[in-house]
Structure 1
């Protein structure tokens, strides 16, 4: 097996043939598929579908369905290639799991090169994708320890930009390194200067006209070179470079003026004064953590994801001012199912009256007519300070059963004795990681609701009022439960790879972030619109088609794919080249006009496996 619940190594996953036959109700009196059956058919793998139509009974039904309804079509993913990248290039080339060889990527559609940045390795790889079925490593650039750690890469036109943190310590200002775009036959990347950025630059993106480069400076706290705790401010750096040789301009956009916003999530405000090492009142500017930037297609606005703060900021790229900072509404789980426990004996999706803060890690803008919509990958993020890293101990989370046994919940407000008891039981909701500050009533000192981290899926928001227009709900976790049960909410843990594998780590992430959806991309490829999201913990991508005829984006789940084997420990899988994309950290589309196959492609980055996989979308 090359992937859990797949019919063969390189086919997309779907329901097994026998399971499909047991669930499909054939309406022989009409001789047609029901709406449910038609929906089921596109979820079947290509191989399974072929097996089905070879059945005489099914063949006639499908033929009749085609005659009455027209062409029967479905969407699936075809794996094109999988490549491990080196984690060291000097003094010799070395490959290592958890070697930090790959984390983020950017595609050069003009030259058909994929830039992949590795943090721990300090490497910038350039892959030649002129033949997506047989990619090659064109060149690799090594950053030095004094340069800093590369965190992200972006390309526009002839310019490549890399966000690099400080070479001294993470609490100091970083830089953006520039390179000329690589062309085949060149000896290596040609540097084109560097410019200062803010504290801990973690992500960057160009406007579509390549005139502006926006950098998200996360401002991570920690100790400085004098071993003194500091909490640098989060900010956005906007760089404009004159390609004709003129001096560049830089602007810093700060998150000031938000300190009295009690509707915004502000974790450090809850740290007791006797613990907080800085003897001044914490500010929102310090706590703001810009994680991701996405720009509207007309380049008028940039939307900034403040992940820890569970908020979205909007910046006008005409005035360079923050026009709004909007809290993201909580997710209500009362109508969805969730597996909240890693100690319930396996896969058990249940309903609980939970809430969760979505805390996206990634976002993209969809424009329909005059309206913009923001698609968010709702990963979740806890906040912790440790003695070794920060000099004190505090966190914004705890296990549900600890909170329940300490009588931290207001049972009168919650008004659900069964749920309160479930919060004490490990095989129910007691293992779930809950917030200790969201839902906290400062007057009573108790929690008015149980609030989890992350949305275990993705959402779509109308940007004019941040109203919710779509939520994937529990669909992704259900798909994993139905078709990838042996790796449901699995994980890959650095210090256990020699004795743990995907199967025996099943369900271990259920109490934390579940499938942990942290990567996302959107494409309108000659009228065909798709969203792809990635599950970091399971290494699975989920493909949705998007219908916009109503004026609002309506995603429809199409298929999912998890590459790699499951029945060995992680280190053995890596050595055999079948670890898949462990620690899936980035996904991206490549338009059909921008590759040799003339198909919509998807690249997938595995940060733990240091790998890049390529897929093509096939419609039948």
Structure 2
């Protein structure tokens, strides 16, 4: 073969190789920026689905223009809302699950609706039921772990993941394992349910870093309580909040393994950037510094990428184990404080100071002598942004968030002693080329919008009111929404309303 023929053969082989590679690789969908004013979200439509607990979590199917809403009013059910004539709305159907003790979550992908249901015995295994969104006929029913609290699809639509909280019975005599189930849709909905027993040997190091393992007579696996899941854009990793435990687990979806637990540590309320309003009996609303720390205890989590780096946003609601069989909650005024660590204990324990604050009595007696050397509040009252790969804290939106609510005259001082604004939900999405975090605050009935395009420097954008106690915060991209515009859907469990918010066009 002469040089010309050799060169041509090499060139053609390179072209064919490159072409094949491009064909086999997933094609990334181009981002279409819809010109919208990111600071102008307002209510466009609303529907009332009933009383308390009749609107919790929602999921939208663009192919049928149906919104599916979790309801526990009068039994476990899914309310189906028709958006085909949006902004006119109508309830078209109710799907009942009377055999189940409760319903917790819904998710939609590629014409499939996944529903997370408690078992008839709440501490027993639960179910994920899959329906076709078009006909609502059942495709599959999959047994998962106890109390599936949140269900989601991977972005590629190949997997369904369920966070199975495994809460104990009220008398704490039955405490199931907290688990995560991975359902492989392509493999006839085969399921792999993972527990955390393999991390028992790491317990001491995890607790020292701010992880909470403390349930009475519980093994490590029993004590874990998965709450919410976010999945990476490439569908390879999942990030799971372990709310009561104060941590985030990372899961390799493809191999079906839990790869690590990231303890979240505490927020120091004595630092200038971390003030709390700690009393509902001080006749004022003011963020101040106090000699306490706060466990973050995140509920919702949202995954996003900006600047080529992946992050997770955590809604640090706070939660406790307050059962008849075991209750960790205490008011500061009821505790015996170490006189060396708290020389002004008598003053601190007044109702107008720290006395009314809810703290955990499970942690803080560091030397085991019966008095408290540290005080730990139960909730971060903030939104945290972490580097998804390293788990490092990048930013914490707390003081600024609560101050904007105070300035708007919407702060509920009756909740100062317990969780403050109560950051319950979060979703991060792109609007007009900016990355926005939509933060749901249960106790002030509001959504705060922050620009997190530069995650280390979040910027406040907007604050607007919702229904009573917003629970589910769902973003629908313009290409999927019923009118081709960015759409935020907020389901509020306090009054059973679902409200629809959209920004102005530019």
Q: Aligned with 1:294: secondary structure? A: strand
Residue number in structure 1 paired with 2:446: 540
2:69 touches 2:80 (CA, 8 Å); kept in 1? yes
Question: Are 1:344 and 1:427, in contact at CA under 8 Å, matched by a contact in 2?
Answer: yes
- Report the counterpart of residue 276 of structure 1 in structure 2: none
Task: Say yes or no: does 1:257 pair with 2:198.
Answer: yes
Kept in 2: contact 1:76–1:619 (CA 8 A): no
Q: Does 1:196 align with 2:143?
A: yes
In the aligned structure 2, how far is the partner of 1:562 from the partner of 1:604?
A: 10
CA distance in 1: counterparts of 2:132 and 2:456, whole angstroms: 37
Which is further off, 523-532 or 202-211? 523-532
* Pick aligned residue for 2:153 from 206, 226, 242: 206
Structure 2: 5+ residue stretches without partners: 1-36
* Corresponding position of 1:585: 471
Alpha-carbon deviation of 1:346?
3.9
**Cα-to-partner distance string for 1:406-435 (whole Å, 9 max, x where unaligned):** 2xx334345xx44x3443110112100112
Q: Deviations over 1:317-360 (max 9, x none)?
A: 12211111111021112213321111112423322232100100
Distance across 1 between alignment mates of 2:153 and 2:365 = 40
- Describe how 1:30-45 pairs up with structure 2 within 5 A: none
The answer to whether the Cα contact below 8 Å between 1:397 and 1:436 also exists between their aligned partners in 2 is yes
Residue 231 of structure 1 aligns with which residue? 175
What does the per-residue CA deviation read over 1:201-227, in whole Å, with 9 as the maximum and x for residues that have no partner? 11111101111111111111117xxx9
Aligned length: 463
How high is the TM-score relative to the length of structure 1?
0.71
Taking the aligned partners of 2:297 and 2:383, their CA distance within structure 1 comes to: 11
The 3 A distance-change label for structure 1 pair 511 and 237 is same
User: Would the alpha carbon gap of residues 591 and 269 (structure 1) be closer, same or farther in structure 2, given more than 3 Å must change?
Assistant: closer
8 Å CA contact 1:267–1:437 kept in 2: the answer is: no
Which residue is 1:518 aligned to? 424
Structure 1: gaps spanning 5 or more residues: 1-72, 86-94, 272-280, 387-391, 490-506, 564-580
User: What SS does the corresponding residue of 1:338 show, helix, strand or coil?
Assistant: coil
Corresponding residue SS for 2:419: coil
**In 2, Cα distance between the equivalents of 1:339 and 1:456?**
10
Matched residues in 1 for 2:353 and 2:246: separation? 27
Aligned residues of 1:77 and 1:615 also touching (Cα < 8 A): yes
Match of 2:91 among 134, 137, 161: 137
Cα pair 2:179 2:194 within 8 Å, conserved:
yes
**SS of residue paired to 2:406:** helix
Displacement after TM superposition at 1:442 (Å): 4.0
**Structure 2 residue 257 is the aligned partner of structure 1 residue 316:** no
Question: Of residues 75, 78, 97 in structure 1, which corresponds to 2:39?
Answer: 75
Q: C-alpha displacement at 1:252, in angstroms?
A: 1.2
Alpha-carbon distance between aligned partners in 1 of 2:483 and 2:404, rounded to the nearest angstrom: 30
Change (3 A) 1:133 1:270: closer
Secondary structure of 1:257's counterpart equals helix
CA RMSD between the two structures: 2.2
2:296 equivalent to 1:364 = no
Q: Distance in 2 between matches of 1:357 and 1:422?
A: 24
Displacement of 1:369: 5.0
Match of 1:374 among 289, 296, 312: 312
Q: Could you say which residue in structure 2 is the equivalent of 1:222?
A: 169
CA deviation after TM superposition for structure 1 residue 617, in Å: 2.1
- The alignment status of 1:465 with 2:412, answered yes or no, reads no
Of 354, 361, 366, which residue of structure 2 is paired with 1:441? 366
1:216–1:236 contact (8 Å) kept in structure 2: yes
- Kindly indicate whether the alpha-carbon contact (under 8 Å) linking 2:449 and 2:462 is maintained by their aligned counterparts in 1: yes
- The answer to whether structure 1 residue 561 and structure 2 residue 460 are counterparts is no
Match of 2:72 among 95, 119, 128: 119
1:340 lines up with 2:278 in the alignment: yes
How do residues 499-510 of structure 1 correspond to structure 2 at under 5 angstroms?
A: 507-510=413-416
Tell me which residue corresponds to 1:101. Answer: 54
Q: Distance in 1 between matches of 2:302 and 2:193?
A: 22
- Determine the C-alpha separation between the residues in 1 that align with 2:276 and 2:481: 39
1:552-576 superposed Cα distances (whole Å, 9 cap, x missing partner) = 453211111114xxxxxxxxxxxxx
